[in-house]
Amino acid sequence: MSTTEPTYRKTKNGTWVAFGPVTAFEQTYVNVRKRNGDLECRRIESLGKSFTVDGVECCYAYLAYSPPDQPRGRGGCGHPEFNGVDMCTRCMYSPM
């Protein structure tokens, strides 16, 4: 199991969270690796308790339901630097 970058996990109660090293969740936004290999920038609502996996301190990051300032289904990273068409200059999110 790789613990170097955040990935999506489903908790026992069915909530989708980001799982990764605690150091990856030091900012308000995090790039989460999707199953297909793409990165998705999401806003962190809160962090769970930390625990150790393979010697790395990890935790779950509970994510905002949808990117802020954007309607659901539109996608995007939610940063003001993203105009909905081109690449975000903050997190390098691109809809392409």
Dist. CA 90–CA 19, nearest whole Å: 22
pLDDT tens sequence across 32-65: 988 898 888 888 999 999 999 999 999 999 998 6
- 25 burial type by CB count under 10 A (0-12 exposed, 13-18 middle, 19+ buried): buried
Domain locations in the chain?
7-63
Q: What pLDDT score was predicted for residue 78?
A: 64
Question: What integer is the mean pLDDT of 77-86?
Answer: 64
Does 8 score more than 90 pLDDT? yes
